[in-house]
Structure 1
């Protein structure tokens, strides 16, 4: 698009090379837009309008996706969704103390999360917690009390990199930590924004949310090049002298594509994380792992099947950084409440944020 002309051309934001685009279209001339995507390979067909060039790209949408081949049996399983086995269990709970005012569902962990061996967050083989009375009880380590959250965030920065589920975190941060938006764009239309900032000047706290760049499946929605900055690019450009909390999440908008696309994206991010941690002594990096959900499913999205696949890829890609990067388990909380939607309910989002705060506060 320019001032006088417009043109639409098919793009392949989901593949690291141009071979796939050439196979699916009759285009012989392509635009290499990797620089637009700040490092992640991205190709489009070259505009047929002679008045336009590759540099005139303004907006992108991707309505079609590859059909994922599955068997008839697999179709039945995906259509059935989650199944709860109806079994009644009688459990007798006895108080261990004579003080009737004291009540505990289970023994609390003894090791504070700030002293926990974070490499173990990558190796859990049992549930990391449970819901009781609507509250998530973390069982891996002893977290901080919620009344200490504000003092924990004093003079700190929070960077949230990801998709709309991370935007849910950002919206909860705004409410819980009295973080005031710096512009009214996000409040008017959160889904229309690719980034946003809020501040709590009383404690000198600032939070930023950024939508991750291509590869990303957005359906019929147009995305502008204004927010085309990859997570790796943004991490490379973060200040090194801050007490920052950096959270990374890539999942729901990438599961339409081959899992090697996710692997490549995370390999690029890993290099940036490693360099960032070498120079940032007072910052913490966390990865929000895939969560469970039941739908929607179809020809190009198979529920949360890729959650396990992506978890394995994360484990392999970040091997060597397991003792420096915290993996946040988000699957257990969504499984515990049989979450069906890709966007978890509010109490689950808050439980996930509490888990993050337990690891970053000390």
Structure 2
């Protein structure tokens, strides 16, 4: 049934916007959505807000492997706190670089996070625990039960763009190989955040990297979670680590691609 909205309403897009399923390969428009009362309405695809029970149902039987920096670790930490049945395993590793793991044995859910390889600004950690994203992907069989999520940007702002592009090209080759051997594997890429302003970086430097990442993976059957737009338009103060309400909306978008409506 067609819905109409008042011409006086600036939120008509929430009614007439995108209603397609959240699947791999969708383009990201500008704007990709908007916040209203701390709720993100996506204009990319049809999303939902996940309760604790929804998250458990969505992730039953899934393996989620997260690789990247601390802004992706926020997703891992949010899921660990939001779902009581997900219990941490002590892998005797650094909490800043991982590897970290939470599991729910009843639902068969496994979620891991680890930092990407060097360059990395972190606490003292064994070199053996620092694995490159491409190597990790190459060692995974993939399949419809597996979700791979990664980001890579914050620790590269002090390096030449060519160095970063070379790293992306290596990761892209591994992603292409993974999708060839296991096409039903869901690969989700988190974009860069805004708000990184200190001696190491600025939004301008970060944007150069983010543009390269988007161009590198364009045309592949992967998902881009555009948190650049989400963090740039929220009223919270600039911070490389957004507040929990923003992370909640990011995770809801992430889960909407795992369990599309």
**Separation in structure 2 between the aligned mates of residue 340 and residue 198 of structure 1, nearest angstrom:** 30
Q: 2:164 aligns with which of 252, 257, 262?
A: 262
User: Which residue of structure 1 aligns with residue 140 of structure 2?
Assistant: 238
User: Secondary structure in 2 aligned to 1:198?
Assistant: strand
What TM-score do you get using the length of structure 2 for normalisation?
0.86
Task: Confirm or deny that 1:327 pairs with 2:224.
Answer: yes
**Separation in structure 2 between the aligned mates of residue 246 and residue 224 of structure 1, nearest angstrom:** 24
- C-alpha contact (below 8 Å) 2:24/2:222 kept by paired residues: no
| 1:202 Cα deviation after fit | 2.4
1:86-165 matches, within 5 Å, as: 93=8, 106-107=14-15, 109-114=17-22, 118-121=25-28, 124=29, 126-147=30-51, 148-165=54-71
| Structure possessing the higher radius of gyration over alpha carbons | 1
**Separation in structure 2 between the aligned mates of residue 137 and residue 119 of structure 1, nearest angstrom:** 16
User: 1:225–1:292: structure 2 CA closer, same or farther, 3 Å change rule?
Assistant: same
User: Secondary structure in 2 aligned to 1:240?
Assistant: coil
Q: 2:215 aligns with which of 316, 323, 330?
A: 316
- C-alpha contact (below 8 Å) 2:154/2:206 kept by paired residues: no
**Separation in structure 1 between the aligned mates of residue 18 and residue 231 of structure 2, nearest angstrom:** 25
Task: Confirm or deny that 1:302 pairs with 2:201.
Answer: yes
**Separation in structure 1 between the aligned mates of residue 18 and residue 77 of structure 2, nearest angstrom:** 32
- C-alpha contact (below 8 Å) 1:290/1:307 kept by paired residues: yes
Structure 1: stretches of 5+ with no match in the other structure: 1-91, 96-102
| 1:294 Cα deviation after fit | 4.6
- C-alpha contact (below 8 Å) 2:89/2:101 kept by paired residues: yes
| 1:328 Cα deviation after fit | 1.1
Q: 1:344 aligns with which of 242, 246, 251?
A: 242
| 1:166 Cα deviation after fit | 1.2
Structure 2: stretches of 5+ with no match in the other structure: 1-6
How many residue pairs end up in the alignment? Answer: 251
Q: What is the RMSD of the two structures over their aligned residues, measured on CA atoms? A: 2.6
User: Secondary structure in 2 aligned to 1:202?
Assistant: coil
1:1-362 matches, within 5 Å, as: 93=8, 106-107=14-15, 109-114=17-22, 118-121=25-28, 124=29, 126-147=30-51, 148-178=54-84, 179-183=86-90, 185=92, 190-191=95-96, 193-218=97-122, 221-241=123-143, 243-296=145-198, 298=199, 301-321=200-220, 324-338=221-235, 339-362=237-260
Deviations along 1:72-128, one digit per CA (max 9) or x if unpaired, are xxxxxxxxxxxxxxxxxxxx9569xxxxxxx988316452333x572413xx2x221
Spell out structure 1 runs of 4+ moving beyond 4 A.
92-95
User: Secondary structure in 2 aligned to 1:118?
Assistant: coil
What TM-score do you get using the length of structure 1 for normalisation?
0.63
- C-alpha contact (below 8 Å) 2:172/2:217 kept by paired residues: yes
User: Secondary structure in 1 aligned to 2:40?
Assistant: strand
